[in-house]
Chain A
Amino acid sequence: MARFGMVIDTKKCVGCMDCVVACKTENDVPDGHCRDWISQRLQGEMPDLRLTITSERCNHCESPPCVTCCPTGASHVQDFGKVVLVDHDKCIGCKACLAACPYGARFIHPDGYADKCTFCMHRVERGLAPACVDVCPTRCMHFGDLDDPESEVSRLIATRRHFVLKPDAGTRPRIFYLE
């Protein structure tokens, strides 16, 4: 059984926001909302400064607090790819999942339900990559099966130094950033 994850090379990402635009277009994300976004972290002290650009979205965590807190089971882990999804028809809009996510990856869709990145499952099921991965002009984003040791994502994690966001939150994210 596949377990999808993403690897993003921060050495190649230039923060062009093509991934953000592609996601909005592909998933018809409503105006004023976004399922993915760009963050820039400036660390250090002058003159030793380091800028890290990250393309961020739902981390499809191994231990997703948004799933355990959901009172209706609308937030769930799909069998195919172990991807965290929201069943819109079960969601009551209580916003517990928004409060439970340490990454701020969810928002309330204007129609009332919780919404977020789906790893473009409608594309992946047809053998395509997520829209953000597909359009990236620097090819910094990689998508694949973390359980397959031969997949590109597994090999990159095995061979390159990497980090995840907010590791101390204990959610075990499945998006890895190469340093």
Chain B
Amino acid sequence: MIELLTTRHNPLVDPTLHVWEWQIPVYLFLGGWVAGSMVLTGYLQRQARAPGQPSVSDRLPWIGLVLISLGMGALFLDLEHKLYVWRMYLTLQPLSPMSWGGWILLLVYPVLALGALATLADGWLDRWPALAAFARQLKSHTATRWLSLANIVVGIALGIYTGILLSSLGARPLWASAVLGPLFLVSGLSAGAAFAHVIAPGHDEQEQLIRFDNLFLMTELGLIALFLIGHLTVGAVHAQSAQLLLGGPFTAVFWVLVVGLGILLPLAIQSLMVAGRIPHTVIAPLLVLLGGLALRFVIVYAGQYSEWISP
């Protein structure tokens, strides 16, 4: 038996760490969603399509710009020394994932903005001839190939970084897992695919995105299993941190919201949709988005709750 009494009662730190609240999970979710959308945009842009045939990849850059701006707004709200945020961009700290993330976010905007510009129809930019000429160049085959590649690379970097951001903070045993980066990336891909198939203009593309989302959801289940198995087998501290999700205070919300309603139920619904057994419904993608958001909330809050237990 060890009973610990301390005179320390610092805000945000005691009795348990709670430095990050809703802003960070919301940012991680929106960042992951945008990352997934960018990867899918890049993939769809590389697919052959008939001239004039609409694609959801024409819409996703615009939505991505809105979502990433909302996410960065949430991130900014979390900062305690807001007026000094520009300090992020005077340095690159090679060992700090947060520093890398700041620069990745700076790459996300131009890639999304160029993608959005390339989707504008002739006539929209008549008042700015130079911009119109630039937009026409962006629609060329070569520019589209490069832009699609940029979407995939930056999207993957953004998605993985949102997980590594937490996993690099080894003082929180629940976050100390290499699986967290891929897990957040796949969850972001799932959110991106779920939303994309709701707004996809063509049936074939919609069907393809639903199949993708099912694949992402099954991969996410596998990664969650690996995440838990890793914690349970690597040592006592990590096993205890995993108990937060396996019998502790975050168990119900994790298994009900994240796994049950966020993965299994939409996977079942979307499988029936693909099989043509039920008509297309927005319930499944909404559940996927809810599950993705809940995953970030659970991981961020439970991770802060976990700590090294030795005296």
On A, residues with C-beta under 8 Å from B are 17, 20, 32-34, 37-45, 56, 65, 68-74, 89-96, 98-102, 104, 106-108, 111-113, 165-170
Contacts A91-B81, A98-B19 hold; do A38 and B12 have CB atoms under 8 A apart?
no
Interface flags, B76-87, vs A, CB<8A=1, else 0: 001111101101
Least distance between B293 CB and chain A CB atoms (Å): 20
Contacts A92-B84, A93-B82 hold; do A102 and B307 have CB atoms under 8 A apart?
yes
Q: Which of the 9-residue segments B96-104, B118-126, B189-197 touches chain A?
A: B96-104
Please name the residue on chain B nearest to A45 by beta carbon: B1
Contact B3 A41 (CB under 8 A): yes
Contact A95 B4 (CB under 8 A): no
Contact A71 B10 (CB under 8 A): no
Given A72-B93, A95-B78, A166-B308, 13 other A-B residues pairs in contact with their CB atoms under 8 A: A20-B7, A37-B6, A41-B311, A72-B91, A89-B87, A93-B81, A99-B304, A107-B11, A107-B13, A108-B12, A108-B19, A112-B80, A113-B81
User: Contact residue range for chain B?
Assistant: 35 or more
Contact B237 A92 (CB under 8 A): no
Contacts A34-B8, A69-B96 hold; do A92 and B2 have CB atoms under 8 A apart?
no
The answer to the question of B53 belonging to the interface, with a C-beta cut-off of 8 Å to chain A, is no
The complex places the Cα of A72 from the Cα of B17 at a distance, in Å, of: 22
Interface secondary structure of A, over-half rule? loop
The answer to the question of B272 belonging to the interface, with a C-beta cut-off of 8 Å to chain A, is no
The answer to the question of B172 belonging to the interface, with a C-beta cut-off of 8 Å to chain A, is yes
The complex places the Cα of A113 from the Cα of B13 at a distance, in Å, of: 14
Least distance between A141 CB and chain B CB atoms (Å): 16
Q: Which residue in A92, A106, A169 is a CB contact (below 8 Å) of B79? A: A92
Contact A104 B14 (CB under 8 A): yes
Scan residues 58-110 of chain B and give those whose CB is less than 8 A from a CB of chain A: 78-82, 84-85, 87-88, 90-91, 93, 95-99, 101-102
Query: What chain B residues lie within 8 Å of A168 (beta carbons)?
Result: 237, 308, 310
Contacts A20-B7, A167-B310 hold; do A69 and B169 have CB atoms under 8 A apart?
yes
Contacts A41-B3, A90-B87, A165-B311 hold; do A95 and B93 have CB atoms under 8 A apart?
no
The complex places the Cα of A170 from the Cα of B171 at a distance, in Å, of: 9
Contacts A41-B311, A69-B169, A100-B169 hold; do A32 and B96 have CB atoms under 8 A apart?
no
Q: Which residue in A40, A71, A106 is a CB contact (below 8 Å) of B93? A: A71
Q: Which residue in B6, B17, B82, B88 is a CB contact (below 8 Å) of A98? A: B17
Q: Which residue in B4, B10, B20, B95 is a CB contact (below 8 Å) of A34? A: B10
Closest 7 interchain pairs by CB?
Answer: A93-B80, A93-B81, A37-B8, A112-B81, A71-B99, A71-B98, A102-B171
Contact A95 B80 (CB under 8 A): yes
Contact B1 A43 (CB under 8 A): yes
Contacts A95-B20, A168-B310 hold; do A40 and B5 have CB atoms under 8 A apart?
yes
Query: What chain A residues lie within 8 Å of B96 (beta carbons)?
Result: 68-71, 96
The complex places the Cα of A106 from the Cα of B14 at a distance, in Å, of: 11
Query: What chain B residues lie within 8 Å of A95 (beta carbons)?
Result: 12, 19-20, 78, 80
The complex places the Cα of A40 from the Cα of B82 at a distance, in Å, of: 37
Query: What chain B residues lie within 8 Å of A99 (beta carbons)?
Result: 17, 19-20, 169, 171-172, 304
Contacts A70-B93, A72-B87 hold; do A107 and B10 have CB atoms under 8 A apart?
yes
Please name the residue on chain B nearest to A102 by beta carbon: B171
